[in-house]
Structure 1
């Protein structure tokens, strides 16, 4: 499997993590697993039909799909004829580009977009990066700075702020915070914090010193003990730490 990441143009950097391209290779015939990261995205299939969402959804050639924020892992089947092009949006920016639905309506789902919202297949195939940059720059709407401030605070704290702290820091109520955050990101601020904390722990495990214990990493990342961390990893990845 060949996987390539391309950075968007400067104007889109505050909104889009990356564009990506996945191509199957001759020996590919396997399920690939993605872990939750709090981000929504878009995918256009320019290869053979591809099964995703643990086999429950089939992405057809030429169709564009929106992928809601995930609360657990998701498997997609990649074979030699797979060819996908995708956009990884930053959390809470979907409605900077689409007046489509509130994000909590598509959490954990992959949904085919109507033609008027979809990418132009011919232009995608001809010059994907230039086309995607132009497509999103032309659709760009005003940013929700208040929401981005909240997301950045959670990211900076690596998911270790309480919801009460976040609400107090942003001069809002917990109820209002949860309602707005869920509508714009698809998940609650608590769920997003848990995902960011998990992602930090995952990075620490993958880059840990051989002498570091899982217990030490768990405490550093805000978990009660190594069992708590192990349970969170298993819930988000379907794996235990030793399998990562």
Structure 2
């Protein structure tokens, strides 16, 4: 379920996403170009980090930056997640954390803001109604929102252009449309988003392909989707999808697998 944020947060929060499931499972998260803050009001989550083979516990509330690769997450019980899906520059705008420092990182809110954030997590878990949970999350985010209008206009404009073209745009075309030099555009993206404009456009294009897959009708083949989103052929689409998510189109579309556009239940 998606819920729009209060207008006071509309410049940094795309939407709130509520995910609830009673099925014990492993999940896979991969990049959709956004950052986010997660409040877990269900059973504990674990994930596979880079340095340990054993699953590491995730905090009750955490923020995540841009992902270069997919991550697996486990829960041994009920899934109960409230996610504030931020714009690509949202984490930097809200929390004043440089985007490069958040790249491929999962950071506990307590580590950033102290133990007072535990009160919000406890209140979200205790509130029976979804709208009350969202109100509490909004209050937490608003307390950290400072000067939202200071987001770089160049990056915001470039992101809008990339989405209007579903990622089917080159950096050269982007520089012509924004009037910026390629080096300037690259530097601003790295500073505020944590990845290059080329990488962001590629993620946007793949998310467009995934939307087409979810809505695929009998008259549109996988090869047709590949052509529509600018891949040379079906094999290139499958390869790029596996690079991003580690999944084939068939695995992605398995019944009951899709919890969110970039969060998939893994079925062994």
**Which of the numbers 196, 210, 222 marks the counterpart of 2:230?**
222
> Residue 97 of structure 1 aligns to a residue in which SS?
helix
Q: TM-score of the superposition, structure 2-length normalised? A: 0.79
1:142 and 2:148 aligned: yes
Residue range with higher mean Cα deviation, 125-134 or 186-195 = 125-134
Counterpart for residue 5 of structure 1: 2
Number of aligned residue pairs: 236
Instruction: Spell out the pairing of 1:38-117 with structure 2 (5 A cutoff).
Output: 38-53=33-48, 56-60=55-59, 63-100=60-97, 102-113=98-109, 114=111, 116=113
Question: Is this contact kept in 2: 1:48–1:82, CA < 8 A?
Answer: yes
Deviation at 1:222, TM superposition (A): 1.1
Task: Confirm or deny: 8 A CA contact 2:43 2:77 kept in the other structure.
Answer: no
Query: Aligned equivalents of 1:84 and 1:206: distance in 2?
Result: 22
**Kept in 1: contact 2:11–2:148 (CA 8 A):** no
CA distance in 1, matches of 2:246, 2:113: 37
- The alpha-carbon deviation at position 131 of structure 1 amounts to 1.7
CA RMSD of aligned residues (A): 2.2
Cross-structure match for 1:151: 159
- Take 1:178 and 1:227, find their aligned partners in 2: how far apart are those partners? 30
Whether 1:29 aligns to 2:24 is yes
**Structure 1, gaps ≥5 residues long:** none
Q: CA deviation at 1:203?
A: 1.2
Q: Cα offset for 1:208?
A: 1.9
List gaps (5 residues or longer) in structure 2: 253-268
Deviates more, 1:125-134 or 1:222-231: 125-134
Runs of 4 or more consecutive aligned structure 1 residues displaced over 6 Å after TM superposition: none
Deviation at 1:18, TM superposition (A): 2.0
Q: 2:138 aligns with which of 117, 130, 133?
A: 133
In the alignment, what sits opposite 1:121? Answer: 121
Closer, same or farther: CA 67–220 of 1 in aligned 2, 3 Å: same
Give the structure-1-normalised TM-score. Answer: 0.86
State the Cα distance separating 1:115 from its structure 2 match: 5.3
Is the CA contact 2:89–2:192 (under 8 Å) kept in the aligned structure 1? yes
Deviations along 1:100-141, whole A, 9 cap, x unmatched? 2x1122222212232526733344344422122223234332
